[in-house]
Amino acid sequence: MGARVVALSRRFSSRNALLIAAFAGLAVFLLRDWLEGDMARHMVIEFPLLLLAGAAVGRVLQERFGAQIACCNQMGLTGFVFASLTLAYWMIPAALDAALGDEWMAAAKYVSLVVSGALLRSSFRVAPLAVQLFFVGNFALMTATVGLIYQTAPQQLCLNYGTDAQLAAGESLVALAVISACTWCVSVAPAFLESGADA
């Protein structure tokens, strides 16, 4: 009976994960022109939606290929490195322009961000707090730095976005960096306090 309940629970969780992935993917597909029509929406809304879709897919893959994923992603390092490089690349103005002007580059953006989301889910599950802190801190610093560069650049950096859109995107990226760091701190606070109490 207990095994059956566990199996039903996993099936229900997988179904929910697939629904989340489908919803996020459909949102990007249907709202693509609106999302990519503005630099801030492109980076601060579309990117997280693709990461969310990937994380939901990763939830399903974890049940079927958990051992293989864990073998290739020990301490979460593979996932963190891949996601860091992917996010850094797509924050480059020339990369954004390429994704808007070339369907193959756009497809590469979608796939790489979805894969990053799937790997990040696995990484956060297995990585020690110190490794998580390094990644989150690096992401927050990188995102805030790019945001400040977008705000202070004297010239237009993207061919497809004007200076006003560039300024708004820079402000949004700084806000995203702060929100991401605060969210992680809140999420790990119970585990950190518990480990401190045990010590």
- pLDDT for 20-59, tens place per residue? 888 999 999 999 999 999 999 999 999 999 999 999 998 8
Q: Is residue 63 part of a domain?
A: yes
Q: What is the DSSP letter of 46?
A: I
Q: Per-residue pLDDT for 6 more than 50?
A: no
Res. 84: pLDDT tops 80: yes
Percent of residues, the chain, with pLDDT higher than 90: 68
pLDDT for the residue 12: 47
What is the pLDDT, as a whole number, of residue 46? 97
**Can you give the pLDDT at residue 63?**
73
Mean pLDDT of the residues in the chain? 87
Domain count, the chain: 1
From the list 177, 174, 137, the residue with the least C-alpha distance to 152 is: 174
Residue 1 above 50 pLDDT? Answer: no
Q: What are phi and psi of 153, to 5 degrees?
A: -65, 130
Mean pLDDT, residues 12-19 taken together: 76
Residue 38 belongs to domain spanning: 2-186
Give a yes or no: residue 194 inside a domain: no
One-letter amino acid at 81 equals: V
Q: CA 198 to CA 87: how far, in whole Å?
A: 36
| Of 6 and 123, the one with more pLDDT | 123
Decide if 8 is inside a domain. yes
Residue length of the chain: 199
Tokens at 44, concatenated: 């601060």
pLDDT per residue as tens digits for the range 146-162: 999 999 998 999 999 99
Task: Look at residue 178 and tell me if it is in a domain.
Answer: yes
> Which residue shows structure tokens 């991401």?
180
**CA torsion angle 46 14 10 183 (round to 10):** 0
193 in any annotated domain: no
Q: Is residue 197 part of a domain?
A: no
Dist CA 25 CA 49 (whole Å): 7
CB atoms within 10 A of CB 154: 5
Is the pLDDT reported for residue 5 higher than 80?
no
At residue 99 the predicted structure's pLDDT band, cuts being 50, 70 and 90, is: very high
